[in-house]
A and B are shown apart, each in its own frame.
Chain A
């Protein structure tokens, strides 16, 4: 079973992170999923591919009734983001998927019908979770051409998809403990996967001005407190699009 932990909780409003899967195959990149609950409804971020579907359902069911989840947020279109959507549609035919509008025609190759997909236009949008206004924040070309992060201004949590991703996990916890020691696990990824320094720097400037307690990537570890700013500064100074 994947491990999970509570990131934020206040009344009916809660963020849960699902991390480290001890039984994951070596050839598969590990993922973190985040569940946001508010007043009896829930939204799940980047719920993963067909290979991890059973583990995700099992773990999420420990925290929430699957019936609560009627929305999914997809940061982009990659296989590890939501190639399991066809399996989810069998359980929940009316599941609503928020994703970058430019990927709708592509995502339909996984399955589903046009009405399942709610396209987010390039400038971003607000997603309503029982009165909680979540903000889809543009992160285009980081790395995907159509890419969004999800900000919760009440919980001060920013879900960042592949931004901040590290090619390591920590079976003992989900937080970055030592920023400098964490750099080697994320540097190669950001240099190689991200292609545009301009778009990367625009994102750093925008996010650097926001109030964020937790910065939550889909792979690796969560940045908390002062490490959020450390990460943004580090990324701003990193040269990306490097082919060696």
Chain B
């Protein structure tokens, strides 16, 4: 990895080798150019950086700790550590980029934040940021996810956001993105689209990565402080890939650190039963950018599924797509069943209820620890599981002695 990785990727036009870019109708193209210009001009300014750092410390409660899992490590062998993004204010890593995006929106004079949400974590984080800055907030969410992630819907509403139900298609994340784009195009002047991951047209994948970079920077320093060495493995779940880009970016140039992105294997490898984009997809375009994409023979995105609402997206971040091709990150997957097992294991052995998304990374950490107990594993525990408890108990409670 060359030392100027972050200067090299993305290119001026937002490309990570062949991936990324901005494939947009002109109405959106102009707005993205304005956001890109504003991002470069504003986010590197002294005032912006000072304000964001102050917010992170006093409002979000950063840095979040790195925690050594004693009982899990005993059971599975090896040394398992968690980067506790579940302790970030509002319960997930999402607030890291939401505060950045909302602060940028404030500097740009925008009045309204628009976004999609899958599991509701990005929606809650953006609603939080909107309340903090006194901006309007409109969150688009698939009806299936609204039913499944009810507590997060209530949280968004309590925070003053408007939740727009999306009833098209499979009524999940992809349709929510379509709907949010549609709302944004109606009024791109006073509103801004705050995309929820390292996806979408340039500059979003870069912007969200840069705002999430803090996770990797902190984790690297904390892990070294605790152990005197670098972790051997770093693991994160990948839907769009924001938490993974955050933690990976801290270790990009440490070539001895192996990076693992974990995709949702769902119920089976049949089309529509998983969202393992990197494992099964082919390069294509979705939502204005190029990436690995689960798509049919006609180029329409395929239906996707995962027990974790934040992971069921047929595309993936362009930077992840490149990191797969150049072999810097290993992408693998974990099934629904393995993720649910990990959800209960972490809850019962460590007293930490993880988000179902993050449980995918935890499940993979068990595999790595069992494979080679001498090698340490650092997991990005991207979010807490409060939002998932009703769903999990209803669907899987019996198997784990509940109800």
**Do these two chains interact?**
no
